[in-house]
Amino acid sequence: MKKWVGPWLIGVSVIHTVLALAVFGQVLASIVRRGIFNTVGADPMTAAVVWFVLFGAMLFICGLAVAALESSSANRLPSSIGWGLLAMAIVGATLMPASGFWLVFPPAIALLLNKAKGSVKPLIG
């Protein structure tokens, strides 16, 4: 399998974060102006923007981990990663069809369909 899933996820996370800055720049600037600490409060828009940005960060971290696994192993990635990505993509695209969740389907499906190599040894047990 070509080692593209990790970089794909990293790329999607970067696009996600740039979009957050472009679309929600005023909300993010407001958070900074108010001192960052405890600035979400009960404002649903601020909470949504914070979660939007944090999701981009978590997707970036996931992409880094997948890229490291792709580089360090001759074996295929654990199918649990593919199933997890697929579940997230299905739920996200169902709840928000006009979103970037569709970009998670290609790597999820690629991970699940790759049967060419042996399985990765479990980390525990």
- Reported as a single tens digit per residue, the pLDDT across 113-124 is 874 344 444 445
Q: How far apart are the first and last CA of the chain?
A: 27
Per-residue model confidence (pLDDT) at position 76: 77
Per-residue model confidence (pLDDT) at position 119: 45
- 79-95 and 105-113 helices cross at what angle (nearest 10)? 150
Mean pLDDT of the chain, nearest integer:
88
Per-residue model confidence (pLDDT) at position 116: 36
- The whole-model pTM stands at 0.82
Per-residue model confidence (pLDDT) at position 123: 46
pLDDT digit string (tens) for 26-71? Answer: 999 999 999 999 999 888 999 999 999 999 999 999 999 999 988 8
How far is it, in rounded angstroms, from Cα 56 to Cα 73? 26
Q: Percent of the chain beyond pLDDT 70?
A: 90
The residue among 67, 121, 111 whose CA lies nearest residue 87 is 111
- Whether the Cβ atoms of residue 17 and residue 57 lie closer than 8 Å to each other: yes
